[in-house]
Structure 1
Amino acid sequence: MRTPARWAVATLLLPLTLTAACGTGDTTQTADGLTEVKVAPSWIAPDITWIPYTVGITNGFYKDAGLSVTLVPPPDNASSVKIVATRQADIAETTTTDQMFAAKEQLPVISIANLSQTNNWGFFAPTGKKITAAQLKGLRVGVFDDAWTKAMLGVVLKKAGLTDNDIQPITATDGNVPLLIADKIDVATNTTNFAAPQYAQQTGKQPETLLATDAGAPDIPIWNYTANKQWLQEKPDLARTWLTATAKATEWAIEHPEEAVKAYQSFHKLKPADYANDLAQWQATIPLLKGSKDELFTATDAQWTELGQALKDAGQLDEVLPPATYYTNEYITK
């Protein structure tokens, strides 16, 4: 679901504020008296969902709150929740499906806030080639190796009376929109805030889009923030402080999109050529960040129950657990 332009250089250009995925996750004080919080992003290379916490770092929102935030990049697109579960990080950006499957495995993690508030994942085809879910049969479908893609693809295929064997999955780790443009795949699975702006930037046209919600998938948040349960028990006020500072950084980034993208790019030193694409993607992300009450972060029982039932119906979960197993709003400061 990310942009390929940055993949080739991202692992070489990680800044000094990033830390290797190792350590105990214990809270420590820095030399200047700040309290350290380690955050694991959801993807193996930087993308615009990093903007809230990179802006928090570069623009001083965390420092003003007494925090020193470092990032723990995961080794692949499915490991951020595991990094938090093993206390190599305190908090992770994950997907809600990551949290569902973590609960199934009884991992000591829980969602503490929604990053986004809607399901904007779907299927993207070249301009003029509209598709339905049933028409996925036999097509080359660009996919990723993350939990969300596997889960939502399974839900949509099940609703359409298809299985994984009915499509030709082609796994990408560094973006699938270029594969779509190059006619190496027929359809890309992605999100509207990543795929559509990138396709438009590179072709001058809009792709054909089939949203998963129009093909039987639930309209629930994709990205969320997950924390280690033991860390929350030990440092509940620290979790609240981090979320409050992240909310301030997010609100600032919403109000100042151009400056936010520049701050994000300066954080991990991307080439300036990516600016237009990153700005377009961030502007497409902004409407996804707040719920019906125009507020950040807040989750509901309904979203988790609906997601759980969809995964159960698709044969991916044996049972749907009580919503409190998956999430809490306890650490969100109103």
Structure 2
Amino acid sequence: MRFRRSAAALVAVLALAVVSACNNDKAGQNGDASLQKITYLTSFNTFGREAYAYVALEKGYFKDAGFDVTIKPGTGTVDVLKLVAGGQADYGIGDFTAILITMGKQKMPVTTVGMIHQKSLAAIVTLEGGSIKGPQDLPGKKIGDQPGSTNTVMFPLYAKAAKIANWETTKFVPSPPASLPQLLSAGTVDGIGQFVVGVPTVENADKVKHRKAVVLPYGDVLPDLYGNAIITRSDLAKEHPDQVKKFTSALLKGLQDTIDDPDGAAKILQKYVPDRKVEGSVKELNLMRPYVKPDGFSGVLGAVEVSRVQQIIKDLEDAGQITPAGSVNPSDVVDRDLAPKG
């Protein structure tokens, strides 16, 4: 009897050890040890612009690459960086300019392994009939924006490139992101910091007057700026480069399908996020398409050019957003071996 009890106890211990080992190896859900469990963070919430990750999930691209992926909504670049750096997520999406600025202030064990957008989505958005019709109208105006956002921190560089006189008199009013469209519609602010893909949300919020948005894209005068980037932990990139390449490839495959078929992508997103309406997502994705593959871009999807990264760093130094004297180097923020090239 004692032997049986000991044997049973040993079996229980071994079973627990097996489960623990599987968890440590991040085995896939449903007991499928052939799939590696991965946590992925969107850049911000689950707007239509994030549909490509759900497309890769729905079409089995992640599974084919050997991954069981859990998609979670991100809450902005800085938070995504911290969660990836701390191991709470394996991959995430963040605005590349914000990544550089953050890394210039605080080194983190993260690296960029691909670009979602070859052109920055950052912009100042207002409504037709207002006091802002172009960049030269910005001095003296109130711009609502989240503190520390890309639109705010990059404004000096944008103003310089757009040759805006007295741009220092433009006042950025700290405002929560969710309230920005309503503040603009109510006339509380003259404009807001917003990604260009947020235009449908801005216009939808102006339900009384039904005005069209007036968009001042930073990328029009700062063509070197990238938009959102794919990030992962530095140790993951170093120790498991094949995994990183497979994951990035699967995600970018979902991105390609998304820009090829925005309507299909929007329907897939709604399947996973029911309150995300198809029509609004399609509008966002159509606006996003030329930023994934801008006019004149002939490179591969997700490509990163080190020389371009160096230029962005220099521009940020000139704008006072990064301390000069080599505080940030391309190798600090981009894995040249893993990021798509060409």
Which amino acid in structure 2 is aligned with residue 131 of structure 1? Answer: K
Which amino acid in structure 2 is aligned with residue 316 of structure 1? Answer: Q
Q: Does 1:207 align with 2:213?
A: yes
Which residue among 253, 257, 268 is the counterpart of 2:273? 268
> What is the alpha-carbon distance in structure 1 between the residues aligned to residue 168 and residue 233 of structure 2?
33
| Residues 93, 223 of structure 1: 8 Å contact kept | yes
Which amino acid in structure 2 is aligned with residue 111 of structure 1? Answer: T
Matches within 5 A, 1:1-334: 27-30=25-28, 31-32=31-32, 33-43=34-44, 45-74=45-74, 78-104=78-104, 105-129=106-130, 130-157=132-159, 160=164, 162=166, 166-174=170-178, 176-195=180-199, 197-201=200-204, 205-213=211-219, 217-270=222-275, 274-290=277-293, 292-319=297-324, 320=326, 321-332=328-339
> What is the alpha-carbon distance in structure 2 between the residues aligned to residue 168 and residue 333 of structure 1?
36
- Report the secondary structure of 1:84's partner residue: helix
Q: Cα distance, 1:134 vs. partner?
A: 4.6
Which amino acid in structure 1 is aligned with residue 183 of structure 2? Answer: L
Cα separation, partners in 2 of 1:173 and 1:258, compared to 1, 3 Å: same
| Residues 123, 215 of structure 2: 8 Å contact kept | yes
| Residues 74, 83 of structure 1: 8 Å contact kept | no
| Residues 122, 212 of structure 1: 8 Å contact kept | yes
Which amino acid in structure 2 is aligned with residue 36 of structure 1? Answer: K
Structure possessing the higher radius of gyration over alpha carbons: 2
Q: Cα distance, 1:250 vs. partner?
A: 1.5
| Residues 140, 170 of structure 1: 8 Å contact kept | no
Which amino acid in structure 2 is aligned with residue 81 of structure 1? Answer: L
Which amino acid in structure 2 is aligned with residue 280 of structure 1? Answer: K
Q: Cα distance, 1:201 vs. partner?
A: 5.0
> What is the alpha-carbon distance in structure 1 between the residues aligned to residue 172 and residue 237 of structure 2?
42
Which amino acid in structure 2 is aligned with residue 152 of structure 1? Answer: M
> What is the alpha-carbon distance in structure 1 between the residues aligned to residue 183 and residue 288 of structure 2?
23
**TM-score (normalised: structure 1):** 0.81
Which amino acid in structure 2 is aligned with residue 29 of structure 1? Answer: A
Q: Deviations over 1:281-301 (max 9, x none)?
A: 111112211251152100112
RMSD, aligned CA: 2.6
> What is the alpha-carbon distance in structure 2 between the residues aligned to residue 249 and residue 169 of structure 1?
37
Cα separation, partners in 2 of 1:38 and 1:146, compared to 1, 3 Å: farther
Q: Cα distance, 1:46 vs. partner?
A: 1.2
> What is the alpha-carbon distance in structure 2 between the residues aligned to residue 303 and residue 98 of structure 1?
16
- Report the secondary structure of 2:93's partner residue: strand
Cα separation, partners in 2 of 1:210 and 1:191, compared to 1, 3 Å: same
Count of residue pairs brought into register by the alignment: 305
- Report the secondary structure of 1:79's partner residue: helix
Q: Sequence identity, in percent?
A: 19
Tell me, which stretches of 5 or more residues in structure 2 are unaligned? 1-22
Q: Cα distance, 1:26 vs. partner?
A: 6.1
> What is the alpha-carbon distance in structure 1 between the residues aligned to residue 271 and residue 338 of structure 2?
30
| Residues 42, 93 of structure 2: 8 Å contact kept | yes
Q: Cα distance, 1:166 vs. partner?
A: 4.1
| Residues 157, 315 of structure 2: 8 Å contact kept | yes
> What is the alpha-carbon distance in structure 2 between the residues aligned to residue 77 and residue 251 of structure 1?
23
Q: Which has the higher helix share?
A: 2
| Residues 27, 35 of structure 1: 8 Å contact kept | yes
Cα separation, partners in 2 of 1:287 and 1:132, compared to 1, 3 Å: closer
> What is the alpha-carbon distance in structure 2 between the residues aligned to residue 119 and residue 101 of structure 1?
15
**TM-score (normalised: structure 2):** 0.80
- Report the secondary structure of 2:83's partner residue: helix
| Residues 100, 313 of structure 2: 8 Å contact kept | yes
Cα separation, partners in 2 of 1:46 and 1:224, compared to 1, 3 Å: same
Cα separation, partners in 2 of 1:198 and 1:102, compared to 1, 3 Å: closer
| Residues 97, 147 of structure 1: 8 Å contact kept | no
